[in-house]
Amino acid sequence: MKNVVLIGFMGTGKTSVGRLLATRLGCAFHDLDRKIEEHCGMPIPVIFKEHGEPYFRAREKEAVRAAAARTNIVIATGGGTVKDAENVALLRKNGVLVALTADADTILQRTRVRGARPVLDSADAGDRRAAVERLLEERRHLYESADITVDTSGRAPLEVAEYIVQATRIWRK
């Protein structure tokens, strides 16, 4: 069975939906960010602070290679994973790409806890919205390359997971 690869901006529900989706499909769940943290022995915000984004992106590429080599898993990517065309090609080779989207208000609500989102944490309250809107616009074309797109705004993770089960049925064979 092909992998189901969840891509999308931070706060769109990739981890929450991914866990439920893996359970519904009877396969393993593979969260790239958690794998990177386990490998590095520290949380992502600390990786960014101590080693910088280029170091993190190199570890991310390693994690993508390892995940893409597997089959029959649900992969939750980090929000910026799709910035690297090689990552996308590797994930697409044995997987169906599902972009989870959400409006800026939903993303701001879901990412309001500081300390876990290095890309947003440097912005103050007013600038957080601007940062989200700017990054969404920068990455929009990357997320639009997905096979399936699901707006998660105002939707429960289980509802989104059920939709993906149905929408990916033909790809997963």
Q: Is 61 annotated as a binding residue?
A: no
Whether residue 57 is annotated as binding a ligand: the answer is: yes
DSSP 8-state symbol, 81:
G
- Give the count of alpha carbons within 13 A of 169, CB side only: 5
Residue 139 is assigned to a ligand binding site? yes
77 annotated ligand-binding residue: no
**16 among the known binding-site residues?**
yes
33 is known to lie in a ligand binding site: yes
- Tell me if 173 is assigned to a ligand binding site: no
71 is in an annotated binding site: no
Tokens standing for residue 66: 């390892």
Is 11 known to sit in a ligand binding site?
A: yes
Identify whether the C-beta of residue 49 lies closer than 8 Å to the C-beta of residue 43.
no
The sign of the dihedral angle between the CA atoms of 124, 127, 84, 92 is positive
Binding site, annotated residues for substrate: 33, 57, 79, 139
Give the residue ranges of the annotated binding site: 11-16, 33, 57, 79, 117, 139, 155
Indicate the annotated binding residues for ATP: 11-16, 117, 155
